[in-house]
């Protein structure tokens, strides 16, 4: 079977790495891909915003399945246009992808379906926001309503921080925001596959959003992750599925917009149980890297079953018991303006330690691999416990030659502390 993978980041490299292991794969194409993905796929210069061009490519190359990695093409309706052309797609429709594309849409759905989440107000002007924020007290959470690549969230600790965040969100016409109560607890990410009817869990992880050690500094797209997130116990996972995810899938189906793909629930584990922070309509990055490191099944067959509405017939996903951990190497300056063009060496040396290096913001300058974005590499390793996986991942990091890169040195710290207790 020929498959087209949409995307160019670390998530897509992990998906390409796993898809390439499937016995059912004939040719894997990637648009646009990156130098790491090129080790597993034929990268093609295809404008994924041109849905007709993507459709024509799929027909020309006899592509039987399209796997959409990032959120933007889903929110733009790429899956709808491909399905209208008779091409199977792993990824939700434009209407269903509003779960990620609009915080206001998701919050309204939570209200309709009685899904536990933070109290909120959806605001469409700076004046309205300044009036609405007062009852929330401090700290308060302020989110851009639309797509923000994982960085459109401010946890304001002072009135001045809150007002600055609101002013920035409404600096341009048409801005919208969601103001939320601050939830106390530990965060975890739960992944579920669904074809709109059947639903199966697909692992858990814990991301590290802040740029600095000790969870300091601004939010990023993610500086590292480990899986499984054992703080999400089997009982808490069952509650999250039955109280949050399943009602969401049922509500969308009943409203005529069934969700098909992976649904990523960001959860806060409060003292009264799990509450939804937000949904993503695709695999997380860097969570995908640790999920793929642990997944032991045929990824292509599973994604195809989801795309074709046959998930109920597919074998349950199987994961290695041992944890995996990934450390993101970012370019200096991230999450502000990253320093691009820095040479990257030592990937073979890093992988010789037993780690797997997934590429994200990279490109070739002649024969030299260089940084071409904010998050550049994700060094991933497994071990009998999280402390061992952490040590193995950092051995890989330390074998790299990336002078303009940096990373956090404490990925997995919460679980390592629990293991030592």
Residues 310-336 have pLDDT tens digits of: 999 999 999 999 999 999 999 999 999
Residue 230 scores a pLDDT above 70: yes
What's the confidence (pLDDT) of residue 172?
83
Name the more confident of 151 and 87.
87
CATH class assigned to 119-181? alpha beta
User: Are β-strands 140-144 and 153-156 bridged in parallel, bridged antiparallel, or unpaired?
Assistant: antiparallel
Sign of CA dihedral 283, 307, 26, 8: negative
Rg from Cα positions in the chain: 21
Domain ranges of the chain: 2-94, 119-181, 184-313, 324-420
Residues 361 and 338: beta-carbon distance below 8 Å = yes
Q: 119-181 and 184-313 share one CATH topology?
A: no
Q: Which CATH superfamily is domain 184-313 in?
A: ATP-grasp fold, B domain (3.30.470.20)
3-state per-residue secondary structure call for 117-183 = ECCEEEECCHHHHHHHCHHHCCCEEEEECCCCCCCCEEEECCHHHHHHHHHHHCCCCCCCEEEEECC
What are the residues whose beta carbons fall under 8 Å from the beta carbon of 335, sequence distance 6 or more?
151, 211, 218, 219, 220, 221, 374
Average pLDDT over residues 31-50: 98
Q: How confident is the model at residue 251 (pLDDT cuts 50, 70, 90)?
A: very high
pLDDT of residue 148: 57
Mean pLDDT of 84-94: 98
Mean per-residue pLDDT of the chain: 96
Burial 20-41, CB ≥16 within 10 A → b, else e? bebeebeebbbbebbbbbeebb
**CATH match for 324-420 among 2.102.10.10, 3.30.420.130, 3.90.600.10, 2.60.120.40:** 3.90.600.10
- So what's the pLDDT on residue 175? 87
2-94 folds as Rossmann fold (3.40.50)
Confidence band of 146 (pLDDT split at 50, 70, 90): confident
């Amino acid at each position: 079977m020929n498959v087209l993978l949409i995307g160019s980041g670390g998530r897509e490299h992990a998906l390409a790495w796993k898809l390439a292991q499937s016995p059912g794969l004939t040719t894997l194409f990637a648009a646009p891909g990156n130098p790491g993905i090129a080790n597993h796929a034929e990268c093609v210069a295809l404008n994924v915003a041109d849905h007709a061009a993507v459709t024509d490519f799929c027909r020309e190359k006899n592509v039987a399945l399209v796997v959409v990695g990032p959120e933007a093409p889903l929110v733009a309706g790429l899956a709808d246009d491909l399905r209208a052309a008779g091409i199977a797609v792993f990824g939700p429709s434009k209407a269903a992808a509003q779960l990620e594309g609009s915080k206001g849409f998701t919050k309204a759905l939570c209200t309709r379906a009685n899904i536990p989440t933070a109290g909120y107000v959806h605001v469409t002007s700076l004046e309205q926001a300044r009036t609405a924020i007062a009852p929330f007290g401090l700290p308060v959470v302020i989110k851009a309503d639309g797509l923000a690549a994982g960085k459109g969230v401010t946890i304001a600790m002072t009135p001045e921080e809150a007002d600055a965040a609101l002013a920035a969100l409404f600096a341009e016409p048409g801005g919208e925001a969601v103001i939320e109560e601050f939830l106390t607890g530990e965060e975890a990410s739960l992944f579920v596959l669904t074809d709109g009817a059947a639903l199966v869990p697909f692992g858990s992880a814990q991301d590290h959003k802040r740029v600095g050690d000790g969870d300091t500094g601004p939010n990023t797209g993610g500086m590292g992750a480990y899986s499984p997130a054992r703080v999400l116990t089997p009982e808490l996972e069952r509650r999250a599925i039955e109280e949050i995810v399943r009602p969401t899938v049922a509500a969308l189906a009943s409203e005529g917009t069934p969700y098909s793909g992976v649904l990523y629930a960001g959860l806060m584990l409060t003292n009264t149980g799990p509450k939804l922070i937000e949904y993503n309509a695709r695999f997380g990055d860097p969570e995908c890297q640790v999920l793929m490191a642990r997944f032991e099944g045929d990824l292509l067959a599973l994604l195809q079953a989801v795309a074709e509405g046959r998930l109920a017939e597919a074998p349950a996903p199987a994961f290695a018991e041992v944890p995996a951990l990934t450390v993101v190497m970012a370019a200096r300056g991230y999450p502000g303006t990253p320093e691009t063009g820095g040479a990257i060496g030592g990937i073979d040396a890093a992988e010789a330690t037993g780690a797997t290096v997934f590429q994200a913001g990279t490109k070739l300058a002649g024969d030299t691999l260089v940084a071409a974005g904010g998050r550049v590499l994700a060094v991933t390793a497994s071990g009998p416990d999280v402390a061992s996986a952490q040590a193995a991942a950092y051995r890989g990091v330390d074998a790299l030659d990336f002078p303009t890169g940096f990373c956090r040195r404490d990925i997995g710290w919460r679980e390592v502390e629990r293991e030592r207790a």
